[in-house]
Amino acid sequence: MEDPGSGHGGFGRAVRHWRDRVAPEAVGVPVGGRRRAAGLRREEVAGLAGISVDYLTRLEQGRAASPSAQVVEALARVLRLSDAERELLYRLAGQAPPGRGTVPARIAPSVLRLLDRFEGIPVAVYDGLWDLVIANAPYDALMGATTTWQGLERNALWRNLLGPRGRVVHTEQDRDDLVTGLVADLRLTAARYPGDPRVARLVSRLRAQSPRFVELWGSDELPQRDDPTRRKVIEHPDVGPIALDCDTLVVAGDDLRLMVYTAEPGSEDADRLSLAVVLGTQRLVGPAAGRKA
């Protein structure tokens, strides 16, 4: 690769180069029909990174300045950049790479390989702030597309306290138990990363909008949930209710949470889950198929 240089033009040239080398199948994009290049199309990168094609076009052409750290991290993840390349992309964006004192949002190649093994199983990955990092195609097929979520919409606490109701069927007590557990985990994150402005910004915005968050955040006693496995019922628009186990797996070194949805093999719920995934991924075939960042 030629020296991409500095400035916004260098950022765009680097992104173009790196997307040309990524094989579609490596990021879950189905390969069908004729392709002019072996790498990823612009619309495929945009869909996987959760940004618009127009914005990615302007970034690549040097017409958009100062992409956010969230956008840079999403592009680094989609393009499968090494640590050195990721750092370079941050520098070309005019930003310092996140330091050790900030909540990690990077997914290591080993975790990406782990996600590749969850074929047909809905998985969503959250960081220590409970911001959505990646949702795979089966998850979107089960829960609805996540690619349009922006800003606070990507935060699980905000969605359960203030956002639109999703497909999971909650009683009020279920939802409050979930929120209580999420707040408890966020408090641990805040203690681990006291200097991260993202933590302070999220807490400030939740405090300003949610009296229940204010109550929980200021509580002297905030118990963790004892059972990491929660039984959830998803009301799917095509196949009806699906009862699933939701296990939260923690990647300790990267401070990530993997939410994995499974059904008892051979059960009616397993059949409904398989049908929901097939129907949903058929609709997602194209630029937005595969993992969703």
Share of the chain above pLDDT 90, in %: 47
Please state, in angstroms and rounded to a whole number, the distance separating the CA atoms of residues 260 and 22.
Answer: 26
Residue 18's φ and ψ, nearest 5 degrees, are: -70, -35
**Which amino acid would we find at residue 258?**
L
Which two tokens mark 103?
């909540």
CA angle 275, 280, 285 (to 5 degrees): 130
Q: What is the pLDDT of residue 291?
A: 47
Q: What is the pLDDT of residues 94-104, one digit of tens each?
A: 887 776 688 98
Please state, in angstroms and rounded to a whole number, the distance separating the CA atoms of residues 211 and 8.
Answer: 42
Cβ–Cβ < 8 Å for 50, 74: yes
Q: Which of 255, 262, 288 is nearest to 107 (CA)?
A: 255
Mean pLDDT of 14-42: 80
Q: What is the pLDDT of residue 225?
A: 55
User: What residue ranges in the chain does DSSP mark as E strands?
Assistant: 123-126, 132-135, 229-236, 240-251, 256-262
Q: What is the pLDDT of residue 293?
A: 47
Q: What is the pLDDT of residue 98?
A: 75
Share of the chain above pLDDT 70, in %: 87
Q: What is the CATH architecture of 109-284?
A: 2-Layer Sandwich (3.30)
CA angle 67, 41, 278 (to 5 degrees): 105
Confidence of residue 17 (pLDDT cuts 50, 70, 90): very high
Mean pLDDT of 107-118: 85
Q: Which of 156, 133, 117 is nearest to 48 (CA)?
A: 133
Q: What is the pLDDT of residues 268-291, one digit of tens each?
A: 999 999 999 999 887 654 444 444
Q: How far is CA 90 from each of CA 72, 96, 146, rounded to the nearest angstrom? A: 7, 6, 25
Confidence of residue 229 (pLDDT cuts 50, 70, 90): low
pTM exceeds 0.75: no
Tokens 């991409």 belong to: 4
Q: What is the pLDDT of residues 183-226, one digit of tens each?
A: 999 999 999 888 899 999 999 999 999 999 999 998 877 665 55
Q: What is the pLDDT of residue 286?
A: 46
User: What is the rounded average pLDDT for all residues in the chain?
Assistant: 85
Confidence of residue 115 (pLDDT cuts 50, 70, 90): confident
Q: What is the pLDDT of residue 99?
A: 67
Mean pLDDT of 116-140: 92
Confidence of residue 117 (pLDDT cuts 50, 70, 90): confident
Provide the CATH number for the domain formed by 7-92 in this structure: 1.10.260.40
The full 3-state SS of 174-231, as one line of letters, equals HHHHHHHHHHHHHHHHHHHCCCCHHHHHHHHHHHHHCHHHHHHHCCCCCCCCCCCEEE
Location of each CATH 1.10.260.40 domain in the chain: 7-92
Please state, in angstroms and rounded to a whole number, the distance separating the CA atoms of residues 241 and 243.
Answer: 7
Location of each CATH 3.30.450.180 domain in the chain: 109-284
Q: How far is CA 109 from each of CA 23, 41, 157, rounded to the nearest angstrom? A: 15, 22, 27
Chain CA centroid to CA 166, Å: 16
